[in-house]
Amino acid sequence: MKLKVTPLDTQPVYRAEIEIVERKGLGHPDTICDALAEKLSAELCRFYHEKFGFVLHHNVDKNLLVGGSAVPAFGGGEVKEPIEIFLSGRAIKEYKGVKIPVDEIAVESAKEWLKENIHAIDPERHVRIHTYIRPGSVDLVDIYMRQLKEGVPLSNDTSFGVGYAPFDDLENVVYHIEKRLNDRELKKNHPEIGEDIKVMGVRVGEKIKITIACAFVDRFVKDVNDYVEKRENVRKIAYDVARSFTDREVEIDINTGDDIENANVYITVTGTSAEAGDDGEVGRGNRVNGLITPYRPMSLEAAAGKNPITHVGKLYNITANEIAATVVKEIPEIEEAYCYMVSQIGKPVNQPLAVDVKVRTSDNLEAFRPKIEVIVNECLSEMKNTWKKLVEGKITVY
């Protein structure tokens, strides 16, 4: 492995004149696709490990959501045509004579996730699930099985991962507004707030402008006046969150496409635009750190659903973020860290071709090089446990 520790000598994003940050919430069609792919991967990992003692090859990262047709109305509308979800990818369906119910696991895991996370949706009536999961290609399965014999996971792709730390003000505001609005406890008192929440943050100078698209659940909204009142409540909740993460001036707008005069507002039957207004696909939403950050380094990798044992497109993005976060946490003199990692297919996953850790510090960079090398090696060694953390929900990739 070639490890480079280099200075981060560009202007900090948070000091630039303008910055843009986005987060697609839990019920956004793209996030739903990511979540269902990741849920299926976790369930397959659990099944394979319990049945065979190790995780078999799979990459179930090609989901597609086709929006349905719905007629929302104050007090409650109806879904006319269900949301169509296509679960696709590759997974071993039989091993040593034992058949593995991959399709059944896929359907049940999808329904379970939808029921647990989209509170106004009925997976039986509002959603139709299709499975198109096939066995993997011979060469990739061979690489995967080879690592079982050799005891060292081998990269099943030539790819790269990137990460950075810490979040700045705008990133924290955007991330935590969505998390708060989609908090399960909040939904108990405010069931009108749907899960399809997109938060767009723009900072110009010292002023932050937050635009939130929030799908309201129609049966919990009586009329347009009630809608306006509840929309304002969402703004207040979001503002309180923002104030806890920044001292900058913050302005928040909710559902700017509303036409209040004509009662044309953002209400839905299910709490997600997937019922009629939007489609979704794995990899089009948040990056592994939960944000979309065009002013930061990003990978276009669709991490959700990829196997967490050998797929570096997943592992390296997770690990790069962990390296950057650990460097900042353990070395107080380092203000900010970026990490870039690249692999070679067929090589051990814990031996990347190159790792570049860029750091911002006013001190002598050379003084921190040995500690950074230790952190990198520890994080690479810990990758063998990443799949367990993903299965247990301790790590998310959307």
- Identify which of 397, 398, 26, 21 has the alpha carbon closest to the alpha carbon of residue 187: 26
> For the CA atoms of the chain, what is the radius of gyration?
22
- Give the pLDDT confidence of 292-337 residue by residue, as tens digits: 999 999 999 999 999 999 999 999 999 999 999 999 999 999 999 9
Q: Which phi and psi angles does 360 have, rounded to 5°? A: -110, 120
- In this structure, the strands spanning 160-165 and 69-71 are unpaired
- Give the pLDDT confidence of 5-28 residue by residue, as tens digits: 999 999 999 999 999 999 999 999
CA distances from residue 64 to 7, 110, 271 in whole angstroms, order as listed: 41, 13, 19
Q: How far apart are CA 146 and CA 373, in angstroms?
A: 29
Q: What is the mean pLDDT of the chain?
A: 95
Q: How far apart are CA 134 and CA 183, in angstroms?
A: 36
- Give the pLDDT confidence of 71-111 residue by residue, as tens digits: 999 999 999 999 999 999 999 998 888 999 999 999 999 99
- The CATH architecture that domain 13-23+168-281 belongs to is 2-Layer Sandwich (3.30)
Question: H helices of the chain, where?
Answer: 29-52, 102-117, 138-150, 169-181, 184-189, 224-243, 312-330, 369-382, 386-391
pLDDT (0 to 100) of residue 22 = 98
DSSP letters of 156-195? SS--EEEEEE---HHHHHHHHHHHHHT-HHHHHH-TTEEE
- The full set of domain ranges for the chain reads 13-23+168-281
DSSP letters of 298-332? ------TTB-TTT-HHHHHHHHHHHHHHHHHHH-T
Q: What angle do CA 14, 18, 20 make, to 5 degrees?
A: 85
Q: How far apart are CA 239 and CA 233, in angstroms?
A: 10
pLDDT (0 to 100) of residue 139 = 63
- Using a 10 angstrom Cβ sphere, with 0-12 exposed, 13-18 middle and 19 or more buried, the burial of residue 240 is exposed
Q: How far apart are CA 244 and CA 235, in angstroms?
A: 15
- Model confidence, pTM: 0.94
| C-alpha dihedral (388, 393, 395, 398), degrees to nearest 10 | 130
Helices (H) and strands (E) in the chain, counts: 9, 18
pLDDT (0 to 100) of residue 152 = 77
- Give the pLDDT confidence of 112-153 residue by residue, as tens digits: 999 999 999 999 999 999 999 998 765 666 666 776 666 778
